[in-house]
Structures are given as C-alpha cells and as structure tokens.
Structure 1
Amino acid sequence: MTENAQPTLTAADTNPTPVLLKLPKSEYTGSILGLAVLVAINFLWFSDRLGFSGFSPHPFWLVVLPMAARYGFKAGATSGLLAGLLLLGLQQLDRPHQSWRTLLALSNLTLPILFVGGGILLGEIREAQKKRYQTLVDAFNHLTSTHADLGQRYDALSRAKQELDTHIISQEQTLTTVYEAAKGLKSLDEEDIFPAVVEIMVDFLAAEACSVYVLTEDRLVLAAGHDPEGEFKRRNELIVDEGMVAEAVTSRQTVSLNALTPSTNFTDLAAEGIVICVPLLNSKNQVLGVLNIERLPFIKFNPQTVRLASIIGEWCGSAIENARTYQDTRDKNISDDITGAYTYTYFLKRLQEEFMRARRYSQEMSLIAFEIADFQKIDKGHQQDILTVVSLVFKNKLRAVDLFFHDHDASRYFILLPGTPRAGAQVANQKMIEEINAFKFRPYTDNDERALAIRTGTTAFAQTMQQPDEMITQAVNEIQ
C-alpha cells in the first residue's frame, strides 16, 4: 500500500455490534430475548396486569423500536409481530373467559397493529438510512481508491520526469564531453589517434573491451585495444571478408549483433565476440579500418550506443584521413616552411648520396647532431621561436654546400658538412654555439635564470663504415 492509499470502509466497520451482524438470526434472537425479559417482569411484578394493561407507553415498545432502529425492516416487522401476538396471548391469559371474537376485535387489535406498523415504518426508515450510508461508504471508498490510484500515478510520473530530466541532462553532458574529447582526434600523427579513440569508447560508451584495426593491404591489423581484465582473446589480425567485419566493410555501415539475429550464421557471428563493428571510412567512402566493441554492459547495448559508436567511427575515419593527408604532404616537401630545415626523409636520402660520393672519391665528410637540452621544459609558446632562431644561425654560419635537417625529435637537428673533416666540423659547431649563446635566452619554465643549453655530437666519415646509418648513430652517441 502506498503512502497515499486509504483503508477501505464498509458498513460493518461503523456498526457498533459487528458480531451480531455476522449471526443470521441475531435480530430474531434479540427480539425474543427482549420480549421474554419483559414477560418475565410482567409475571413477577405485575401479574395482576398481564399484558401490561394500562401501561402507557407500552413496555413492548422498548423492544420493537430499538430492534427496528438497529436492524431495519425485517427486524422491525418481526419484533412488531412477535410483540403483537405476545400481547394478545397475555390478554387472553388475563381474561381467559373472553371469546376469540372479543379478543380479535378492532379496538383490541389497535396496539398490536401499531407494534407491527411502527416496527415496519421505523425499519424502513432504518433501511433507507442504511442504504444511504452504504452509498456514502461506497462513494468514499471509490474516492479513496481513486485518490490512491492518482497518488500512485503522480509518484510514477514524478519519478519518470526526474529520470527523463536526468537522462536529458546527462545526454547533453555526454554529447558535450564527447565533443570535447573528440578534439583529441585532431592530432596529425596517426599513431596518436587510435589510443584516443579507444579512450573515448571506454569513457562514453562504457565499453569493457574494444579495439581499432587498420586496413593494411588486405589485412586488418590491430592498432589499439582495451581489455583491462584480459578476458577477451583478441587477434592481432582480422580477415576482411569474414564474420561481422565482412558485414560492416561490405555495407559500409555500422553492424550490431542484435541486428543480425535473423541471420542464418548468427551463431558463428556471436562466437566471434564482437558486439558492434563500425567501419572507418574516408571522404571517398573507402575503408580505412574497423572499430570493434567486444564487450559492453547489457544496459548500454541499445540503439543510442550504436548511433554514438557510428559517430565516433566517423570522427576516427576523418582523423585518420587528415593525418595521412598531412603526412603525404609533409613527405613531398623536403623543407620546413618556417625554419627552412630539410625534412628527416630528405636527410636520409641526401646522406646516402653524400656517403656514397665520399666513399667513391675518398672525400672528407662530417655530421653534427645538434640538440636543445630539456626542450619540453621550454614554454610551448616559445618553442617554435627558439627553433626559428637556431635555424637562422645555421643559415648565417654554414657554407652554401652545408645542409641542416630536422630529426623526428623537434629538439634535434643534423648538420651535414660535405668535404669537411672532423676538426673543421668542431670549429663550425663551436661558432654556432657561441652565436646562439649570445642571444642569452632564458626559456625554461622551471628556472627563469637558466640559460638555453645546447648539446652536440660530431662524427666524420671513415672508409671502414658500411652504411650511412653508422654516422647517425655515432653522432647521436657523441652528444654531450
């Protein structure tokens, strides 16, 4: 029973003698007992006036009226009839010699008739009152039941409204937070995108196990995954034309396990352990890979999660395409537009050429590894400024035939000096360090008084070297 529910009332709940109501003959028993007591009194104390002759009002009314008032028509009629018959009987005993015609004369029947009529009339009034009362009780019970039902509905609607409000608020927060998290996919380094996608699926889809596979030739190779409990046996490679992956790649649409239940090979698909598979597409609708959710809480396995997974897949596909476009463009450019330094890819190609030339013609050649110490401790707003200044120093202090290149690490350069022995490279190196120190940079965030620190390593070509990579390794190892 809810808090608003009220107990249902019946006529029996308000009756002062509910026990008597449960006895079918209680009204007759009460009439008989009451009249018997009055007759006994009549015989014991008023034996000379049997039938209470001369008493006004007659004592039998003490039984007829209460019985009619309490129990209604039947009790009133019964008690009135019994009282009338008993009165006639007592009168006959009091005057045994009178004839039946005298006994049944109208003048003698007046009081018995009044007993019966009074009992019936008062009983009818009581019946009407009982019906009226029962009607009110029924109306009250109906209103109480309606009130309780409305209270339950109100409580249910209040809870539903609260849940809906919470759902809407959490949905807005989820979409906003997912959008903020998706900014992490703006990285132009493809390797940084995959862990970010996995993190988004874990945080916002509650994925307990998920993975990202990248299409390489005709194979899907694992790029990143999440399974902290280690229960899912994930393969390093997936076959493009098998299972749920084939469904997603072929249709170019997100595929979920519950949507494949009518499929004839549903058992085989379920055995793969993939719950949702999202194809990663580029702007030309070409498949770049797939995003798999392998384990998900049951309550989260719904159309909303499938739609959100599709959105994340679209973001991931766009991020991969942007990163690859940037990488392709970067590879085609041999120099940085800002610093003027050549790219590392061009460095490897040019070093190979100069190494073969020095080897063939027995020429001198040196390589300097130039590194800015603790580059990450420099404020990010000043990092590019430092690199630009260093590049300007290289341009001013190096010969036209000398070349400087960026390493993969933004804080490191390689300077290639064709026709220059190791001693000449050390002199050039010292001049560049002195020039940079003259700027008196104090760029480190951990110590405002700390000057910019430069570390270098120098090596020279030797005929014993077999590959140009040996020069790179030696130069890096010489850094101090």
Structure 2
Amino acid sequence: MTTLLGPTDTPVETTMPHVGGATVLGLRRAALIELALFFAVALAIDVFLLGGTRFAGVAPHPFWLAVLLLTAQYGTNEGLVAAAASTLALRVGNVPAQTIGQDFYGWLLDLSLQPILWFAAAVILGELVDRRRRMAIRLDGELAAARQRERVIADAFDQMSRLKENLEARVAGQLKTVLTTYNAARSIEKFDTGEVLVGVSDLVKSILNPEKFSLFLLNKQHLEAAANVGWAADDHYAREFDANSILFRSVVAGRKLLSAIDPIDERLLSGEGVLAGPLLAVDTGEIVGMLKVERLGFLDLNPTSVQNFQLLCDWIGTAFANARRFEDSQEQGGAFSIARNMLSATLFERQRGLMLALARRVGFDLTALYLRIEGDGVLDADSVAAFTRSVATAAQSLLRATDLVFERREDGWHYALLLPKMRGETAAPVVERLTKAVEDLLEAAHLPGRVRHLVEELHRADG
C-alpha cells in the first residue's frame, strides 16, 4: 500500500493487488496450488513412464519449468519455494552414491549443483520481477495522485464554469462588454480619417448607447459638425460653434468635459446636450474636435457613463489625430500606401532598376507584370479605388512576400508587379490565377471589368 498526498493534502491510498489473490504465510495460495499440481503430474510421469529416475539424463531438467514459471509469475519468495520443492523432489530418496574414483567434494558438488542453480535463478529472476513490481506500485501511486489532481482540477473547473455562467447571466443584458468595445474600437483604428469618422458611430453606440449624438471637428477657430446620429428634422441643435461661443470656450479652450449632472455644466451646455467633451490626442495633447451627446436615457446618465464618455473622447481624438498625421506623411512621402497595400508609382522605376541590377549581380530571374483594368465607361475615383483594392487583395493572397506591387502608372498600365526569381513561362499560371481572382473580386463588388496583362522578362539567371 502506498500513501500519497494530492494537491489538496488529502491522503490518496493506492494498493498494488497481489498476483494470485490470497496468501498463506506470505506466499500466494495460487502459487502453492500450482506448485503442488506441477510436481504431482511431474512425479507421476516419472514413476509410471521413466521408472522413478527423477528425470535423470533429461536436459534441461523439467523442474526448471516450475522454478522459472513461479519466479517470473510471483517473485523471489515463491521462486525460492519452487527451488526448495524442486530440490526435495529431486533428492529425497534419490541421493546418488559416491563412486570409488570420486572424492567427497566432487560428490557433494554433483549432488548440490542443480539445486544451487535453481536457487540462484530464483533469486536473480525474482529480484528482477520484484523490482518491476515495485516500479509498478510506484507508477500506480503516481497515477492515483494524477487522477486525484485531475479530480481536483475538474472540480475547480466546474466551479469556475458555474461562476462564469452566473457572471454571463448578469452581464448578458449590458451593452458595455469588453467584446463589443473591442470590436467597435477596431472600427476606428484606421489610417484614413474618413474611415475613422465612419467607425465612431459604432464605438459610441456600443459604449454609451445614446439616442442622439454628434461629432465636431476643429477647423481653425470653429467647431464644424462632421457627423450627427439620431437627429430629427425638427431638432435645432447648432451645427457650428465659433471661438466666442460658450461651448467652444469651455470645451476647446478650457479643455473641460461638461455633464448635465453638474448644475454649472448644465448651464454651460445651454440646452445643446447632456454631455460634451474635447477630442484630445493623448500622446500629443492636440485637440481635434468635440464629441457631444444630445439625448441619453435617464438611467444611462450616471458617473460611470461620464467616465466612459471621457474615455471615448480621448480614444476618438487619438485615433483621428493619428490618421490625420498618417495622411499628411503620405502626401509628403508618397512611397507606400498602407490603406491600399501598394507601393507608389513614383517608386517603380527606381525599384525596377535596383532589382534588375541586383538580379544581374547575384544571378536570379526577374520578371515584371503589368496590369490594366478596362471597365465600361469613364472610371471615377470610387471605381479606381475598388480596382486597386481588388488587385491588392488578390496579390496578397496569391503572391509571395518578396513580390512587389505598385500603384497605377501613367503609361497606360494601371498596376505593375516585380516578381523576383520567376521567369516568363513560370509566371504564366501565376498571372492567370491573379487575373481571375481580380475579376472575381470585381464581380463580387458589382464592378465588372476586364483585366489585361503584359509579362516582361527583365533578366534570366542563365543569361
């Protein structure tokens, strides 16, 4: 029996069952019965078939079978008993006489050699068996401890599951969950100010759930309405606030968050809403506008919602400022458009020359692919943007990371791709899959267009 302590300090008892069941004087009863039956059969065969010679001249001696089997099955003790029984069955009434030319020690050796081998085999093999049994007992104890730990963990998991279910039941009707906030926040983490403004509506609704709200952007010394949600035709809220207005001086100049809960703030709001706060870029301190809530449910206007409103103002202000800075850098640099996931057309010729020089120096294939999308009628800006997104999406899914995609060019081809380590004939199936993918994307966007392409092999590694 082995006693172990589990993770809750509860004793865990494990017992390795004895092979053969019940014991007599520490020996398995089954082993004694098997030993008696073996010698009854063996001695009967010897008496009736071999004339009582105790299997003289038979090699190996049949009694080895009893010693080895019982030792391997039950261990050292039973093996020694089998060796003793084999010795008695061999020598009782069958002790050979000492011959004339044989000294005493030689006679004694002949007499005891076989029993000594039996006892030695019983000890060696039995210890090996006992060691394996002890190892099995230890492993059984470790398994029991592991099962105990598993039960404890399972109970803890069940308890945590019940707690989770209770918490889910408590927050099931609430809109301000972490998941909804995260999904809504992703809608404003964009590189385009227009996309940020589009995502503001979902973010504000998921956190505050207002009936009416509006967003104003700072344009020099004016706050101009950029978006309003829930406004009705008979609403007379102001769409612009100049530097002399109370809201401008309080929110922009004073950087103050106004809440109708406070009587002073309510007078400053002047009936324009229940909450108003500056859109502040946290990292730079820049104010980009104002967020204003005109109508909010009675139970939704509380200190927690005011704190969430402050968080919203900082969040939206930071996202909008980052997007605007990115757009400014794009206009100045113009090297890469993350929004379109393409390199600028002005970079193509330079990159083409560098890649060609590198291909000649290092020795790899280089191929250029030119694409032109032919649509019906005159292409407007929205159609060109849709074409660009389709090409970028198809290229990202089908091409390698080392392939370069460039924006619209001015020589009749809208897009150019540099394909290093690819020959013209190798590029053919790639081009076919790419053009089909672009056309499928255009068709899904209800913008039918035909893709024309030109493959230009710039360099072959073999000359």
Calculate the TM-score normalised by the size of structure 2.
0.42
Calculate the TM-score normalised by the size of structure 1.
0.41
Higher fraction of helix: 1
Higher fraction of strand: 2
